[in-house]
């Protein structure tokens, strides 16, 4: 008989094969993201591209919250704070970085014609009624700095990752002390954190609008120039509708998050989180390190919230700390609760419904929010567990019946 | 010296305002164990209802005064109490047995509903306005060089009076005993013959009436803006922080927490700003102090300064 080691090794799956299987979903994610970019985006037109981008970003944000709120059962109201931190970090890198690393504005820009738009000084014409000029494209050029996967987009990718990392560090900072608290108290502390970040964002220094000024300051020196109460503006629009690569990046991040949360849910770590959600004391008695599990979930969630913040900032070209306060955190919690806490398909459904429906009723703007509020109350009274509950689409009895019919027909 | 007196008066006035609103949060949490996010909107409605009542009675165009103020105050408190009871009856009662997160989201739904219904032109609309003409902020007396204004006196008197009245109600009357019984254990209280629904309705009525008083006092010092304005949300948030810091569910704790939050926001902020007079951004930190105090207190005493710590069992 062969030694035990060899027998175990023989039972192990082929490492190459295993790596292939585990990488396959990510390859599929890239393929789907490319499909969204090149086929779906052009097919549905600009308005719907924008709505789809909103849905994708909402999936990233709500999906990240789902890990803390749905899996671990910890009620966090500070997700907008992580968005804000991540958005600032990414915008700092893409806005100042394009000038420092790639020198995108060779003409020093001197004239501000209002609205924060910059002129190319060689084209200024002053007439009796107005000042006209060619706007300098370097601050708001759609798809500027190289094409797909060009310098600009790589800088943007680095910005997203940086935003995620900075937000994750904040998550660790907030999570370590506060996750000792339970239930509503945790919600209040995370809410307090979000408000503190918002106020700190509002007291940062203004953003220099002059290229020369930016060039004279080092990247580190510019870390405090995040726009203050005016907000960080003129962020390159890598994820705005109509920019090349916008659909690709948004849906790549959304799909990667969905794959990771799916794997987490069915792994031992995820089951530990679900155990914490159901009963913390019982989970601890079963050997789950509950504090560690909660902090890890919190940091993971903060990382993707930071990325979501970066995507959001590059979509609307600006970060306004007033917009990313308590209300934004609440919006995300609503998506998670309506979709079904802990359900990945629920998040996708919830994000789609809550983004698309208000868009459809834009004409009735006066009554739109009233109807939305009433719908929220009615859903909570009629279906407290949300649309999906904790189940996934493929776990529903109706779906099983459907697929069973399909597979049995194949067999016969 | 005059700075010290002035900041003390400002602290007391703001603390009184926070206390009135914080009591609504704390009463509801003590009995139903959920954060009533719609409370700040009842406060906002209080301000707007006061405006509507005052303009209907003609107090805005002259004929104001302390008596007129009291009339407006009483009518507004009664209307807001009715509003609170209605909200509880329609939105929260069907969810009495549901998980708390659902009630919370419902509260958020109610909050959005109140904000946006208030924005309708037929109701309060979107124009900024004021209720100051009912009772202008005249100087009553000067202590040294510090003017004592009527709003400060009114706020402090109202807050102290209403807190004491509430304290008596909760600890000295039969209804108060029923409230405490429901807070302790709803089912046992029901078995002992307490009508839980009545108790909850009374709680909402009292909390909303106090919120109305808070809303009027706030509207006297600030222009009335939209019902959906973020200043109302921030006011509600800080009052809520006060309730939590004091130990949510505890009447005396809410008053103490409100004073502490006001102390940090006015007194500490004033002296720190004075200390760092050269740096401009220090002047914008008052909200940061409030939330830092919240986090520090909760990490030190997880159920607030006067809250009962509970032992969790499986």
User: Are the CB atoms for B245 and B54 separated by under 8 Å?
Assistant: no
CATH number for A25-104+144-324: choose from 1.20.120, 1.10.3470, 2.60.40, 3.30.70.
1.10.3470
- The per-residue b/e assignment along A90-125, b for 16 or more CB within 10 angstroms, e otherwise, is bbbbbbbbbbbebebbeeebeeeeeeeebbbeeeee
- The pLDDT averaged over each successive group of 10 residues in chain B (314 residues) is 88 94 92 89 95 89 83 95 96 86 87 91 85 84 85 92 92 92 90 94 95 94 84 90 89 92 93 84 86 89 80 58
> Using the 8-state DSSP alphabet, how is residue B99 labeled?
-
Nearest to B294 among A192, A327, A381 (CB): A192
Distance from CA of A393 to the nearest CA of B (A): 22
Nearest to A334 among B35, B108, B237 (CB): B108
List the 166-185 stretch of A: residues with Cβ below 8 A of B.
Answer: 177-178, 180-185
| pLDDT at residue A146, rounded to an integer | 63
List the 130-189 stretch of B: residues with Cβ below 8 A of A.
Answer: none
List the 337-376 stretch of A: residues with Cβ below 8 A of B.
Answer: 337, 341, 366, 369-370, 372-374, 376
Residues of B in contact with A195 (CB under 8 A): 237, 287, 291
The residue in chain A having the minimum alpha-carbon distance to the alpha carbon of residue B311 is A281
* CB proximity B86 to A under 8 Å: no
Residues of B in contact with A326 (CB under 8 A): 233, 237
The residue in chain B having the minimum alpha-carbon distance to the alpha carbon of residue A340 is B102
* ipTM field: 0.84
| pLDDT at residue B231, rounded to an integer | 87
| pLDDT at residue A144, rounded to an integer | 54
> Using the 8-state DSSP alphabet, how is residue B148 labeled?
E
| pLDDT at residue A128, rounded to an integer | 64
Whether B314 sits inside 8 A of A325 (CB atoms) is no
Whether B298 sits inside 8 A of A376 (CB atoms) is no
| pLDDT at residue A125, rounded to an integer | 64
Whether B291 sits inside 8 A of A187 (CB atoms) is no
Distance from CA of A184 to the nearest CA of B (A): 8
List the 103-132 stretch of B: residues with Cβ below 8 A of A.
Answer: 103, 105-106, 108-113, 115-117, 119-120
Taking the C-alpha atoms of residue A147 and residue B128, their distance in angstroms, rounded to an integer, is: 49
Nearest to B98 among A183, A202, A384 (CB): A384
Burial of B42 (0-12, 13-18, 19+ CB in 10 A): buried
- CA B138 vs. chain centroid, Å, equals 24
* CB proximity A203 to B under 8 Å: yes
The residue ranges of every structural domain in chain B are 2-229
| pLDDT at residue A143, rounded to an integer | 46
CA angle in degrees (0–180, nearest 5) for B224-B229-B234:
100
User: Are the CB atoms for B76 and B53 separated by under 8 Å?
Assistant: yes
Delimit the CATH 1.10.3470 region(s) of chain A: 25-104+144-324
| pLDDT at residue A307, rounded to an integer | 96
Taking the C-alpha atoms of residue A138 and residue A84, their distance in angstroms, rounded to an integer, is: 24
Task: Please name which of B314, B12, B5 lies closest in space to residue B151, comparing C-alpha atoms.
Answer: B12
Q: What are the pLDDT tens digits along chain A (412 aa)?
A: 678 888 887 777 777 877 888 888 999 999 999 999 888 888 898 889 999 999 999 999 999 999 999 899 888 889 999 999 999 999 999 888 887 887 666 544 445 555 555 555 555 666 666 666 555 555 544 445 666 777 788 889 999 999 999 999 999 999 888 887 777 788 888 988 998 999 899 888 888 777 777 777 888 888 888 888 888 888 888 888 888 888 999 999 999 999 999 999 999 999 999 999 888 889 999 999 998 999 999 999 999 999 999 999 999 988 998 888 888 898 899 899 888 888 999 999 999 999 998 888 877 777 878 888 888 888 888 888 888 887 888 888 888 888 887 776 655 4
3-state secondary structure of B285: coil
Whether A369 sits inside 8 A of B116 (CB atoms) is yes
Distance from CA of A192 to the nearest CA of B (A): 5
The residue in chain B having the minimum alpha-carbon distance to the alpha carbon of residue A182 is B302
The residue in chain A having the minimum alpha-carbon distance to the alpha carbon of residue B29 is A184
| pLDDT at residue B140, rounded to an integer | 82
The residue in chain B having the minimum alpha-carbon distance to the alpha carbon of residue A174 is B295
Taking the C-alpha atoms of residue B276 and residue B271, their distance in angstroms, rounded to an integer, is: 9
List the 222-261 stretch of B: residues with Cβ below 8 A of A.
Answer: 230, 233, 237, 240-241, 244, 248
* CB proximity A382 to B under 8 Å: no
Helix and strand element counts for chain A (H, E): 16, 2
């Amino acid at each position: 008989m062969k030694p035990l080691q060899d027998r175990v090794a023989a039972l192990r799956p082929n490492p190459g094969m295993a790596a292939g299987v585990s990488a396959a979903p990510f390859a599929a994610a890239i393929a789907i993201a490319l499909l969204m970019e090149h086929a779906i985006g052009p097919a549905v037109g600009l308005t719907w591209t924008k709505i789809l981008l909103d849905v994708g970003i909402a999936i990233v944000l709500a999906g990240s919250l789902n890990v803390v709120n749905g899996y671990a059962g910890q009620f966090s109201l500070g997700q907008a704070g992580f968005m804000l931190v991540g958005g600032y970090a990414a915008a700092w890198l893409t806005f100042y970085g394009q000038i420092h690393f790639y020198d995108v504005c060779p003409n020093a820009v001197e004239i501000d014609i209002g609205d924060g738009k910059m002129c190319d000084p060689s084209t200024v014409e002053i007439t009796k009624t107005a000042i006209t000029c060619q706007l300098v494209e370097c601050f708001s050029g759609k798809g500027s700095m190289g094409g797909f996967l060009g310098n600009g987009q790589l800088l943007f990718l680095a910005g997203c990752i940086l935003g995620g990392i900075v937000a994750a560090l904040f998550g660790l900072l907030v999570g370590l002390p506060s996750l000792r608290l339970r239930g509503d108290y945790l919600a209040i502390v995370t809410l307090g954190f979000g408000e503190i970040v918002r106020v700190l964002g509002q007291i940062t220094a203004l953003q220099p609008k002059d290229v020369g000024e930016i060039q004279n300051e080092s990247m580190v020196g510019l870390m405090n120039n995040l726009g203050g109460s005016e907000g960080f503006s003129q962020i390159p629009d890598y994820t705005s509708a109509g920019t090349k690569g916008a659909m690709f990046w948004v849906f790549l991040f959304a799909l990667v998050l969905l794959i990771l949360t799916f794997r987490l849910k069915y792994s031992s770590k995820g089951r530990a989180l679900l155990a914490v959600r159901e009963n913390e004391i019982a989970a601890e008695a079963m050997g789950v390190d509950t504090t560690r599990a909660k902090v890890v979930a919190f940091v993971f969630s903060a990382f993707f919230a930071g990325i979501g913040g970066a995507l959001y900032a590059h979509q609307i070209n600006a970060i306004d700390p007033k917009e990313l306060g308590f209300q934004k955190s609440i919006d995300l919690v609503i998506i998670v609760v309506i979709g079904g806490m802990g359900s990945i398909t629920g998040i996708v459904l919830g994000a789609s419904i809550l983004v698309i429906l208000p868009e459809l009723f834009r004409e009735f703007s006066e009554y739109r929010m009233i109807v939305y509020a009433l719908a929220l109350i009615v859903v909570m009274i009629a279906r407290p567990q949300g649309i999906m509950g904790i189940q996934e689409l493929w776990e529903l009895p109706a779906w099983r019946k459907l697929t069973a019919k399909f597979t049995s027909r194949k067999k016969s | 010296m005059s700075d010290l007196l002035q900041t003390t008066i400002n602290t007391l006035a703001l603390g009184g305002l926070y206390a009135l609103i914080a009591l609504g949060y704390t009463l509801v949490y003590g009995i139903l164990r959920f954060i009533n996010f719609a409370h700040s909107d009842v406060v906002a409605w209080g301000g707007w209802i006061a405006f509507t009542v005052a303009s209907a009675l003609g107090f805005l165009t002259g004929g104001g005064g302390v008596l007129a103020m009291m009339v407006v105050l009483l009518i507004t408190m009664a209307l807001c109490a009715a509003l609170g009871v209605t909200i509880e009856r329609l939105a929260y009662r069907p969810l009495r047995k549901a998980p708390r997160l659902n009630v919370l989201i419902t509260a958020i739904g109610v909050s959005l509903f109140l904000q946006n219904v208030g924005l309708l032109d037929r109701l309060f609309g979107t124009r900024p306005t004021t209720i100051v003409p009912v009772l202008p902020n005249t100087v009553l007396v000067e202590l040294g060089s510090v003017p004592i204004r009527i709003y400060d006196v009114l706020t402090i008197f109202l807050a102290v009076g209403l807190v004491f009245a509430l304290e008596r109600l909760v600890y000295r009357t039969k209804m108060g005993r029923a409230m405490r019984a429901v807070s302790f254990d709803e089912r046992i209280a029901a078995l002992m013959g307490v009508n839980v629904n009545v108790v909850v309705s009374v709680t909402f009525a009292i909390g909303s009436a106090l919120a109305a008083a808070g809303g009027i006092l706030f509207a006297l010092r600030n222009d009335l803006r939209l019902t959906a304005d973020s200043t109302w949300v921030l006011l509600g948030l800080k009052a809520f922080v006060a309730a939590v810091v004091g130990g949510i569910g505890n009447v005396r704790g809410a008053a103490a927490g409100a004073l502490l939050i006001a102390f940090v926001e006015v007194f500490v902020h004033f002296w720190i700003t004075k200390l760092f007079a050269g740096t401009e951004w220090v002047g914008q930190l008052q909200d940061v102090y409030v939330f830092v105090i919240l986090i520090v207190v909760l990490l030190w005493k997880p159920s607030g300064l006067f809250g009962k710590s509970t032992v969790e069992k499986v």
